[in-house]
Amino acid sequence: DKIKVPAPKIQNRQFVKPLLCGPGPCDYWPSVTEAVAYPCITPNCEEFYNVLDEIRAGLQYIFQTQSKLVLAMSGAGHAGMEAVINNLVGPGETLLIAARGVWDQRAEIIAKRLGIKVEVTRVPMNTTFGLEQIETELKRLRPAALFITHGDSSTGTVQKMDGLGQLCHKYGALLLVDTVVSLGGHPFFMDEYEADGVFSSTQKAFSGPAGISPVAFSTRAEEKINNRKHEPSFYFDVKLLAKQWNCYGDTRVYHHTMSPPMLWALRACLQEVSNATLPVVWARNAASTAHFHKRLQEYGFEFFVPKPEERLTTVTTVVLPKGVNYLEFTAVLREKHNILILEGRGPTEGKALRVGIMGANARTEVADILADAMADTLNTMLSSS
Ligand code: GLV
């Protein structure tokens, strides 16, 4: 018998999903749950290209860009991060990283593995950058690009973007932006900010499954891509992917086999946003989080980010009273209320809770359920200690 490894017993499973109120993944739109079961589409059928066209139009809307080089990477948000860095910065070039959380640390790791020279400028993790600090570093280092996180899910901060692209261009640098946890939940205007390489992901304010990562490149970025000296990895090469995505309207070229459920899911997320329109979606996210913050304050919770204008709409970071364990808090909340939130990640580990109300969950009822459950959890923990 050549079969040496016996077949495992894979049983049917029942899983009671908690209410997903962490920094992501967030709950799906019902339309997304339906969309992932749509029929298989393949790179040799007409419908495949129709779907890609619709996704590109939806992405141009959600990024607020008129750029043609807009598509989605097969892979989670990290694929978007790696694609943007790998396509726009070559080995030996300098990438300046504006650091305040865990995602800039990831950018640093990725860039170093690609042979890129990395320089880091920091602010305390519960704040964001002013233009002066960035300008000083751009002037001093003359990097090929600046990497900055718009919404940071590890710290719950949102970076003000006005003038940043213009500043980078003054010093010959491209602007690379992580919008994984902000796009579709917090206002973002790619063209107005003159951002050059922007990536996002679908499991946050998009309210879809992780596994496909929207990316957009400006005309400045396109120029760099067309004139660069280095070859990025084959899988992440946006020049080749642009042909598969028919970005310029005249190519239908096979690059790799994309996941049909992911394409259908992303299309459904974009349909939700386009039907509602961005101003309505942003207002919904802002109103539910403002309500959540009010309820938290009434219960005496404290925020990790002191300045309200630096607090991200989609993810709130909360500081617990001294002596209350963060991991235990999330476990009790899950156990008693079947709600999932997360503790800090990277620099905020053991220092903050990360609570997300976004996308399909951006509703006052969710904010109320969550605030009440968090208050009950804290009382339970304080009374048993
Ligand atoms: C993951 O995306 C996180 O924010 O922890």
In this structure, the strands spanning 339-340 and 212-217 are unpaired
260 has a pLDDT exceeding 90: yes
CA angle 241, 176, 306 (to 5 degrees): 135
Dihedrals phi, psi of 164, to nearest 5 degrees: -70, -45
The amino acid sitting at 74 is: S
Which value, to the nearest 10 degrees, does the dihedral of the CA atoms of residues 327, 332, 337, 339 take? 10
Asked whether the beta carbons of 75 and 256 are under 8 A apart, the reply is no
Query: What is the percent of the chain where pLDDT is above 70?
Result: 100
pLDDT of residue 326: 98
Annotated binding residues for substrate, written as ranges, equal 354
Mean pLDDT of 12-31: 97
Asked whether the beta carbons of 318 and 304 are under 8 A apart, the reply is yes
Joined tokens for residue 195: 């951002």
Please provide the DSSP assignment of 142-157 as one string.
--SEEEEESEETTTTE
Q: What is the pLDDT of residues 333-342, one digit of tens each?
A: 999 999 999 9
**Least confident span in 63-77, 99-113, 210-224, 247-261:** 247-261
Q: What is the pLDDT of residues 340-369, one digit of tens each?
A: 999 999 999 999 999 999 999 999 999 999
Burial class (CB in 10 A: 0-12, 13-18, 19+), 290: middle
Enumerate the CATH 3.40.640.10 domain ranges in the chain, comma separated. Answer: 30-275
Q: Measured between alpha carbons, how far is 165 from 184 in angstroms, rounded to an integer?
A: 20
Q: Candidates 103, 154, 182: which one to mutate for ligand 1, based on the most atoms within 8 Å of Cβ? A: 154
Class of domain 19-24+278-384: alpha beta
Q: Measured between alpha carbons, how far is 100 from 46 in angstroms, rounded to an integer?
A: 45
pLDDT of residue 35: 98
Joined tokens for residue 298: 């009434």
318 has a pLDDT exceeding 80: yes
44 has a pLDDT exceeding 90: no
pLDDT of residue 133: 98
Enumerate the CATH 3.90.1150.10 domain ranges in the chain, comma separated. Answer: 19-24+278-384
Burial class (CB in 10 A: 0-12, 13-18, 19+), 211: buried
Distance (Å) from CA 205 to ligand 1 centroid: 12
Which value, to the nearest 10 degrees, does the dihedral of the CA atoms of residues 352, 354, 355, 359 take? 150
Quick check: ipTM above 0.85? Answer: yes
Q: How distant, in Å, are the alpha carbons of 22, 100, 140, 154, 188 from that of 159?
A: 20, 10, 22, 13, 11
Mean pLDDT of 32-38: 98
Distance (Å) from CA 188 to ligand 1 centroid: 20
Which band of pLDDT confidence, cut at 50, 70 and 90, is reported for residue 240?
very high
Looking from the CA of residue 154, the nearest atom of ligand 1 is: 4
The count of C-alpha atoms lying within 13 angstroms of the C-alpha of 20, restricted to the half-sphere facing its C-beta, is 20
Joined tokens for residue 307: 């300045």
Query: How confident is the prediction for the chain on average, in pLDDT?
Result: 97
The answer, yes or no, to whether the previous bond of 25 is cis (omega within 30 of 0) is yes
pLDDT of residue 251: 83
Max distance between CA atoms of the chain, in angstroms, equals: 71
Asked whether the beta carbons of 216 and 176 are under 8 A apart, the reply is no
Distance (Å) from CA 310 to ligand 1 centroid: 19
53 has a pLDDT exceeding 80: yes
pLDDT of residue 282: 98
Annotated binding residues, written as ranges, equal 354
Which band of pLDDT confidence, cut at 50, 70 and 90, is reported for residue 84?
very high
80 has a pLDDT exceeding 90: yes
Q: Measured between alpha carbons, how far is 119 from 356 in angstroms, rounded to an integer?
A: 31
Q: Model-level pTM greater than 0.90?
A: yes
- The correct CATH number of 30-275 out of 3.40.50.300, 1.10.10.10, 3.40.640.10, 3.40.50.720 is 3.40.640.10
Asked whether the beta carbons of 147 and 86 are under 8 A apart, the reply is no
Distance (Å) from CA 106 to ligand 1 centroid: 12
Q: What is the pLDDT of residues 174-227, one digit of tens each?
A: 999 999 999 999 999 999 999 999 999 999 999 999 999 999 999 999 999 999
Q: What is the pLDDT of residues 116-145, one digit of tens each?
A: 999 999 999 999 999 999 999 999 999 999
- Residue 168, classed as helix, strand or coil, is helix
- Its sign, for the CA torsion 29, 18, 25, 48, is negative
Q: Candidates 181, 183, 202: which one to mutate for ligand 1, based on the most atoms within 8 Å of Cβ? A: 181
pLDDT of residue 250: 83
Which band of pLDDT confidence, cut at 50, 70 and 90, is reported for residue 385?
confident
